[in-house]
């Protein structure tokens, strides 16, 4: 049965891809020529296309009153980067089964991929009862004993109870209220269910209103958001990816079940390539859609180019940020092969507890107080601005508190006087301020810093990496090495002139290829070039989120006695 492209995409489960569509009708001149993002394609009646992906491209917004579109509201287009922070209004329409929730709502490992629902009735499981109106967090979807199910969590009395709900579970499920705030892009990616619109309330505009804004001045109400999708498709006679907006005025019919899907080129993402076994490498591939970016190797990965993919592997990187106080701070992933050298820069510590975390057995941590602190106990030191200390160790000390002796955690230090040292104790909860005094003039390679010091660690490039055409790290006023991470990479080179090879990140490079049945001329990859990868703010926060899931956070600093 034919339907509009918009209706088809809105109802399509992304897990059902790819789908083959036949164009049924469309009103176009010269054989239905449609141009989008510089890609011109013909969508003639009876033509077939293979849909391989779709994502929200923009949002159509209407001002909302009482959960309905205001009769005075005109529809406006909002790009995904439209500034502002928004709260999601819980959907008042129920879901009738777990299967419907899984089909329409984004559930995944990311922080935003854990939606919460409640049931209007008790749900009796084998050894657990979910009470009505109790918040259920949906964490992931997987196969359990041959049946698809959702891994869920309920929190009661500060204790988490994990269980699974089969997709066949029926009932009346409603969205829980969400007190988080999101950008429009985050809402588009995670918070708009399939076949439903989303109501959001403006929480913070993040910018001054101007006449070009599509929203009224001082607007602080609710908006109904309707997504417009960008559809990625492959045609029979082109080797690149076609981009089509879902609101294109064309009717389509799903003919997947009666069409040979293998007759189309098979686009593969870098994630698809990475999932192949090691014995499948090396392979030759042609780029169907290259990444954007002017730095090497991204500027070499243009559409139509042939590359050799030698192998897949995990590699270590150091996540670093520029030491700037303004919003233009840049973030980098530095490989261990970086050949430049670094000199140490002073670190800053907001509390005595941070001094304890940063101290090492290799050297005494020398700091200067930048903020005064008055101790409530005579056994512990009061600090003045300019006082200098050598940090020794954490220990417990007895203090007199309301006439009683009490043990508290303290930091033992040597206070540096004009001609001697004085042993003193600082309370661990002390909210002061300290800056490090650097005596070490040595120049370090990246691997030496990771081996000898705790991160985070402040440095400045003293000798740039001469093997890199433009070493972006050398221009930075200072860098903070934040943490060491492990990430997935593919090693590639040009198929026509394999003079050098490059590491490309699997999960941060949007690129599609199709494999060629060509023999690889040389199985041994050429010399690998060092690449310092600059990551966007969004990628930076995703890296921090992912890494921090695997780390146990340090214990909270002790509270100041009342």
Average pLDDT, the chain: 85
Among 436, 464, 479, where does a domain finish? Answer: 436
Does position 442 have pLDDT exceeding 90, yes or no? yes
b or e along 318-331 (b: 16 or more beta carbons within 10 Å of the residue's beta carbon)?
A: bbbbbbeeeeeebb
Short-list 250, 320, 245, CA closest to 474: 320
421 forms bridges with which residues in the sheet? 416
Give yes or no: residues 98 and 130 share one domain. yes
Looking up residue 385, the CATH number of its domain turns out to be 2.30.30.40
Q: Do 365 and 380 fall within a single domain?
A: yes
User: Is 141 part of any domain?
Assistant: yes
Q: Are residues 27 and 139 in the same domain?
A: no
Q: How many domains does the chain have?
A: 4
Q: At residue 37, does pLDDT exceed 50?
A: no
Is residue 462, in this structure, part of any structural domain at all? yes
The answer to whether residue 523 scores a pLDDT higher than 80 is: no
Least confident of 201-205, 363-367, 443-447, 535-539: 201-205
DSSP 3-state of 284: strand
Residue 461 structural domain: 267-345+439-552
- CATH number of the CATH domain containing 151: 2.30.30
Cα(43)–Cα(248) distance, rounded to whole angstroms? 11
Q: What is the DSSP letter of 64?
A: E
Number of C-beta neighbours around residue 13 at 10 A: 11
Residue 107 has pLDDT above 60, yes or no: yes
pLDDT tens-digit map of 8-21: 998 888 778 889 99
Radius of gyration of the chain (CA): 29
Cα–Cα distance measured from residue 438 to residue 342, given in angstroms and rounded to the nearest whole number: 14
453-502 pLDDT per residue, tens: 888 899 999 999 998 888 999 999 999 999 999 999 999 999 888 888 99
Mean pLDDT of 259-269: 85
Whether the CB-CB separation of 501 and 310 falls below 8 Å is answered with yes
Q: Are residues 465 and 355 in the same domain?
A: no
**CA dihedral of 54, 59, 64, 67, whole degrees rounded to 10:** 10
Same domain, residue pair 515 and 383: no
The region that residue 31 occupies, defined by phi over 0 for left and psi between -120 and 50 for alpha, beta otherwise, is left
pLDDT at 496: 85
Q: What pLDDT score does 418 carry?
A: 87
Whether residue 217 has pLDDT greater than 80? no
CB 535 within 8 A of CB 508: yes
Instruction: Name the domain boundary from 265, 295, 312.
Output: 265
- 233/302 same-domain check: no
394 and 525 fall within a common domain: no
Residue 562 lies inside a defined structural domain of this protein: no
pLDDT at 557: 52
Cα–Cα distance between 548 and 542 in angstroms, integer? 10
Flag whether 181 is in a domain. no
* Same domain as 540, residue 416: no
Own/partner long-range contacts of 158-167 (Cβ < 8 Å, ≥24 apart): 161/128, 163/125, 163/128, 163/130, 165/98, 165/123, 165/136, 166/98, 167/97, 167/98, 167/99, 167/102
**What is the pLDDT averaged over residues 28-40?**
45
Q: For residue range 327-374, list pLDDT tens digits in order.
A: 778 999 999 999 999 999 999 998 888 888 888 877 889 999 999 988
* 235 located within any domain: yes
Note whether 108 and 244 are same-domain residues.
no
Lowest mean pLDDT, pick from 21-25, 103-107, 131-135, 398-402: 398-402
Across residues 36-49, what is the average pLDDT? 66
Tell me which H or E stretch contains 123: strand 123-124
At residue 553 the predicted structure's pLDDT band, cuts being 50, 70 and 90, is very low
Contacts 24+ apart (CB under 8 A), 41-48: 41/235, 41/238, 41/242, 41/244, 43/244, 43/248, 43/250, 46/22, 47/22, 47/23, 47/235, 47/236, 48/20, 48/21, 48/22, 48/23, 48/236, 48/255, 48/259
Query: Torsion angle of alpha carbons 193, 216, 79, 327, nearest 10°?
Result: -110
Determine the Cα–Cα distance for residues 241 and 373; give it in Å rounded to an integer: 63
- The answer to whether residue 552 scores a pLDDT higher than 50 is no
How far apart CA 155 and CA 137 sit, in angstroms, is: 9
Alpha helices in 230-368 (DSSP H): 270-274, 352-358
Cβ–Cβ < 8 Å for 333, 403 = no
User: Same domain, yes or no, for 461 and 490?
Assistant: yes
- With respect to residue 544, please indicate whether it lies within any of the assigned structural domains: yes
Report DSSP letters for 124-165, one per residue: E-SS-EEPTT--EEEEEEEEETTEEEEEEEEEETTEEEEEEE
Residue 147 in any domain: the answer is yes
pLDDT tens column, 123-146: 998 888 999 999 999 999 988 888
Among candidate residues 144, 169, 140, the one with its CA nearest the CA of residue 152: 140
Q: How far is CA 126 from CA 133, 154, 225, 473, in A?
A: 20, 15, 40, 58
What pLDDT shows up at residue 207? Answer: 53
Distance CA 493, CA 53 (A): 27
Residues 333 and 360 in one domain: no
Q: Clarify whether residues 382 and 520 are in a common domain.
A: no
Secondary structure string (H, E, C) spanning 169-219: CEEEEEECCCCCEECHHHHHHHCCCCCCCEEEEEEECCCCCCCCCCCCCCC
pLDDT value for 144? 82
Q: Is residue 248 part of a domain?
A: yes
């Amino acid at each position: 049965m034919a339907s509009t492209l918009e209706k088809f995409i809105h109802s399509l489960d992304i897990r059902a891809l790819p789908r083959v569509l036949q164009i049924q009708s469309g009103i176009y001149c010269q054989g239905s020529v449609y141009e989008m993002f510089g890609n011109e394609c013909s969508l003639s009646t009876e033509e077939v296309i293979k849909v391989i992906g779709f994502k929200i491209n923009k949002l159509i917004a209407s001002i909302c009153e009482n959960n309905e579109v205001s009769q005075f509201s005109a529809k406006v287009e909002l790009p995904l980067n439209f500034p502002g922070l928004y709260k999601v209004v819980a959907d008042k329409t129920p879901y009738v089964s777990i299967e419907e929730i899984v089909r329409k709502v984004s559930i995944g490992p990311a922080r935003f991929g854990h939606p919460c629902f409640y049931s209007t009735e008790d749900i009796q499981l084998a050894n657990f009862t979910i009470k009505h109106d109790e918040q259920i967090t949906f964490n992931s979807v997987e196969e359990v004993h041959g049946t698809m199910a959702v891994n869920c969590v309920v929190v009661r009395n500060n204790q988490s109870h994990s269980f699974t709900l089969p997709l066949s579970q029926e009932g009346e499920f409603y969205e829980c209220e969400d007190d988080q705030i999101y950008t429009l892009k985050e809402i588009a990616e995670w918070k708009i269910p399939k076949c439903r619109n989303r109501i959001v309330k403006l929480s913070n505009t993040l910018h001054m209103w101007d006449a070009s804004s599509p929203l009224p001045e001082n607007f602080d109400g609710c908006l109904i958001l309707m997504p417009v999708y960008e559809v990625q498709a492959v045609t029979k006679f082109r080797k690149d990816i076609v981009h089509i907006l879902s609101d294109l005025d064309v009717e389509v019919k799903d003919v997947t079940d009666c069409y040979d899907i293998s007759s189309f080129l098979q686009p593969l993402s870098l994630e698809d390539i990475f999932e192949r076994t090691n014995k499948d490498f090396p392979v030759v591939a042609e780029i169907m859609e290259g990444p954007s970016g002017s730095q090497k190797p991204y500027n070499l990965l243009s559409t139509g180019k042939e590359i050799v993919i030698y192998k897949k592997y995990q590699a270590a990187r150091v996540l670093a940020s520029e030491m700037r106080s303004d919003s233009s701070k840049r973030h980098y992933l530095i490989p261990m092969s970086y050949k430049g050298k670094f000199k140490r820069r002073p670190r800053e510590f907001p509390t005595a507890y941070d001094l304890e975390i940063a101290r090492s057995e290799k050297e005494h941590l020398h700091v200067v107080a930048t903020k005064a602190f008055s101790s409530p106990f005579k056994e512990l030191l009061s600090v003045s601005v300019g006082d200098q200390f050598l940090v020794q160790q954490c220990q417990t000390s007895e203090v007199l508190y309301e006439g009683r002796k009490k043990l508290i955690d303290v930091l033992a230090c040597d206070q540096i006087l004009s001609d001697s040292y004085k042993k003193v104790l600082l309370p661990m909860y002390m909210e002061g301020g300290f800056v490090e005094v650097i005596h070490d003039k040595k120049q370090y390679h990246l691997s030496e810093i990771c081996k000898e010091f705790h991160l985070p660690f402040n440095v400045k490039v003293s000798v740039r990496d001469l093997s890199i055409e433009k070493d972006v790290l050398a221009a930075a006023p200072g860098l903070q090495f934040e943490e060491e991470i492990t990430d997935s990479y593919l090693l590639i080179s040009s198929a026509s002139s394999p003079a050098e090879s490059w590491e490309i990140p699997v999960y941060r490079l949007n690129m599609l290829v199709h494999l060629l049945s060509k023999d690889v001329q040389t199985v041994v990859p050429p010399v690998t070039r060092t690449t310092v990868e600059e990551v966007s703010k969004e990628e930076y926060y995703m890296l921090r989120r992912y890494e921090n899931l695997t780390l146990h956070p340090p214990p909270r600093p002790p509270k100041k006695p009342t």
